[in-house]
Chain A
Amino acid sequence: MAHLSFFKHIASIGLVCALAGLIGCASNTVPPDALLMKEPTTEIRQRQARRYATTDEKQVIIAAAQLLQDLGFNVDNSEKDLGLLVVSKDRSAVDGGQVAGQIAVAVIFGVRVPVDKEQKIRASVVTSLSADHKAIDVRVTFQRIVWDDRGQLSKLERLDDPEMYQDFYIKLSKALFLEAQEVG
C-alpha cells in the first residue's frame, strides 16, 4: 500500500513537471502562421498607399521627410535608390483612463498594476514607380512599442487606424501640390 502511494506521488510530480516543461517550450516556438497574410492585402494596401501623378521620386521622398519632421519624427535612415525613408519618435504613452484604473485597483485590491509610460512610434515610407511608369506610389506603415512605468515592454503593435493614414496623405498631397489617388 505504501509502495502504491509512493508511485502515485512520483506519477503526480512527473505529470506536473512534464506539463510545466511543455509550457516552457511553448513560449519558444515560432507560430506557424507568423508570415501568413491575415487580412486581404488589397485592403491594407488601399489604406496605406496612395498614387501621385509625378515621376520625380526624389521630390516625393523629400516632401514626405519634411512632413514627418513637421509631425515630430526624426529620420533614422533613408535610401534614395530604393525610395525608402525610416523615421521614429519617442513620446509619452500615459493615458488618463489607465492611470485612474490603476488608482481604483490599488484602492480596492491593494495592489499596484503597471500603466503605460513611454512609446516609440516608427514609420517607414516606401516609394516606387507605378507599373505604367507615369506615377509614384507611396506606401507608409506605422508601428509602436510601448513600455510601462516599470520599464517592461507592454505593447508591440502595428498601427492600423485609417484616419492616421488619411491624415498623412492629406498633408502629403498639400506638400506636393498634387492630388492623391487610391492604389488598388
Chain B
Amino acid sequence: MFANRFITFFLCMAFAPTAILCGCNSAPKVNEAEVSLKLRAIQTRSYDTTNTNNALRVAMATLQDLGFVIDNADADLGTVSATKLDSAATKMTITVRMRGKTQILVRANAQYRLLAVTDPIFYQQFFTAYSKSLFLEAHEVDPAAPGL
C-alpha cells in the first residue's frame, strides 16, 4: 500500500514539471492571427478631427493617466510608445494618421510581458479613456475598409 502511494507520488513529481512547461509553452508566434484584419479593427478607432498633434498629445496624457511612462514620441511619424511597470511590464504604441480629409485613425497595440495583447476589452478600455480626454467620440472601423 505504501509502495503504491510512493509510486503515485513519484510519477506525479516526474510529470508535473513537464505539464507546467507545456502550460508555459504558448510562446507568441508571428502567425496570421496577429496581423489579421480582425485584430487591426480591434486596435483601431477613427475620430472626426484632423489635428494629429493634439491626438498624439492626448495619447500621451491618457497613457500617463493609465500609469505609463512615455518612452518615445515622434510628431512627424505620429507615434507614441510607453511602458507601464506594475507587477510586470506592459508596453504600448499608439500611432495616429490621417484618414481622408476629415478624420484620423488611431491605432494602439500592446504587449504584456512577452505576449501580444489581443483581448478586445483591453483596447476598449484604452479607447474609452482616450476618447474622454480627446472630447470626441470614437468610431469603430470596418476592417475591410480601404486604407485601414
Interface residues of A (CB under 8 A from B): 5, 8-9, 12-13, 16-18, 20-28, 30-32, 34-38, 41, 44-45, 48, 77, 79, 81-84, 86, 122-124, 126, 128, 139, 141-145, 156-158
Contact with A along B68-87 (1 / 0, CB 8 A): 11111111100010111111
Cα distance A145–B89 in the bound complex, in angstroms: 10
A20 to B69, CA, bound (A): 35
Chain A nearest CB from B130 CB (Å) reads 11
Contact between B19 and A27 (Cβ–Cβ < 8 Å)? Answer: no
B11 within 8 Å of A (CB atoms): yes
Q: When the two chains form their complex, are residues A139 and B64 in contact, meaning their CB atoms are under 8 A apart?
A: yes
Is B85 a contact partner of A45 (Cβ separation < 8 A)?
no
Instruction: Give chain B nearest CB distance to A130 CB in angstroms.
Output: 12
Contact at B115–A30, with CB atoms within 8 Å?
Answer: yes
- Is B31 positioned at the interface, with any CB of A under 8 Å from its CB? no
**Which residues of B are found within 8 Å of A20, using beta-carbon distances?**
15-17, 19-20, 23
Of listed B19, B86, B89, residue having the most chain A CB within 10 A: B19
- Asked if residues B89 and A156 are in contact (CB atoms below 8 Å), the reply is yes
